[in-house]
Amino acid sequence: MSGEAAIVVDVLYPDLLNLYGDRGNARALVRRCEARGIDAAVRRVDIGDEWDDAGCDIVLVGGGQDREQRRVEADLLRRGGQLRDWRDSGGVALAVCGGYQLFGRSYRGIDGEIMEGVGVFDMVTVHPGPSVSRCVGNVAALWEGETLVGFENHGGRSYLNAGQAALAEVVAGFGNNGGDGSEGARVGNCFGTYLHGAVLPNNPRLADRLISLALERRGGDGALAPLDDEAESRAHAEALHTALHRSEQGRLRSALQALRG
């Protein structure tokens, strides 16, 4: 990196909320910036730190088990106003799984206790308890005419309130709740998703969207030079194949069970 950082990525609680390599999202953003000659830096925001939102371009928060979510809950809540202002002023954010749940209004965890969220997204999440299967597996979802792929593993089911837009439409997998076909949420330039993978290395177009929105917010035109995404495209295609194949197998299994009566 040379000169002053042009894109600053702030990762909230990188040690506590980092399931399935969610920290790779920051690396993907930096790599895609630097490959285009755009300087980029990653900063961490831990419990007790002040968040310098004025110096930030993209906020990332990853997934975590209920225990870790509980550990960050109070600290995240005190940032609620700052994060909602961030959303309302066009700030760019990507929240994944456990972080996504806490960016909603509330999460009733596996133990039945409610965790209050920051309300960036107008949704509530409910864990049906330890006796109900988790939403686990490969996901494919439609996003703006393209596919998003990733891996999900969550017990909580998220329900978007009326007026809250989903990020994508589930093609294979569970997404928000395994029932209404929605995956993730979007308000302004804030994106929420259940997809791990990490999601950005496998979905370079989503990564570029975040970068481009951040550059626009800085007054640029957001135009990005294309990159050689051969490896990323291959990873995306493989994840898509796995997700579709698994869901087809599931459908066949259910059809056979139904036939056997």
Strands 7-12 and 40-45: parallel
Helix (H, G, I), strand (E, B) or coil at 30: helix
Nearest residue (CB) to ligand GLN, 22 versus 208: 22
> In terms of CB distance, is 104 or 204 closer to ligand GLN?
104
Nearer Cβ to ligand GLN (7/102):
102
Among 65, 138, 182, 193, binds ligand GLN (CB under 6 A): 65
- 192 touching ligand GLN, by CB under 6 A: no
Among 127, 135, 154, 196, the active-site one is 196
Strands 185-187 and 190-193 come out as antiparallel
- Judged by DSSP in three states, 33 sits in helix
Burial class of residue 41, CB neighbours in 10 A (0-12, 13-18, 19+): middle
Q: Is 117 in the site for ligand GLN (CB under 6 A)?
A: no
Peptide bond into 95 cis (omega under 30): no
Contact residue for ligand GLN among 23, 32, 108, 154 (CB under 6 A): 154
Q: Annotated catalytic, 196?
A: yes
Q: Does 173 bind ligand GLN (CB under 6 A)?
A: no
Written as six digits, the tokens of 32 are 């895609």
Of residues 153 and 242, the one with the C-beta less far from ligand GLN: 153
**Terminal Cα distance for the chain, rounded:** 63
CA distance 117 to 186: 16
Residue 79 or 154 having the CB closest to ligand GLN = 154
The answer to the question of residue 23 lying near ligand GLN (CB under 6 A) is no
Closer CB to ligand GLN, 57 or 66, in the complex: 66
Does 153 engage in binding with ligand GLN (CB under 6 A)? Answer: yes
For position 156 contacting ligand GLN by CB under 6 A, the verdict is: yes
Buried b (16+ CB within 10 A) or exposed e, 85-118: ebbeeebbbbbbbbbbbbbbbbbbbbeeeebebb
The stretch near ligand GLN (CB under 6 A) out of 49-57, 62-70, 163-171, 211-219 is 62-70
Query: Least distance (Å) from ligand GLN to the CB of residue 2?
Result: 36
The yes or no reply on residue 57 touching ligand GLN (CB under 6 A) is no
| 124's tokens | 């509530």
97 is catalytic: yes
Indicate which residue of 97, 135, 190, 236 is catalytic: 97
Which residue in the shown chain puts its C-beta closest to ligand GLN? 63
Cβ–Cβ under 8 Å, residues 28 and 198: yes
Q: Scanning the structure block, which residue is given the tokens 């960036």?
A: 120
Q: Binding residues for ligand GLN, per CB under 6 A?
A: 19, 63-66, 69, 97-98, 101, 127, 153-156
Q: Which active-site residues does the annotation give? A: 97, 196
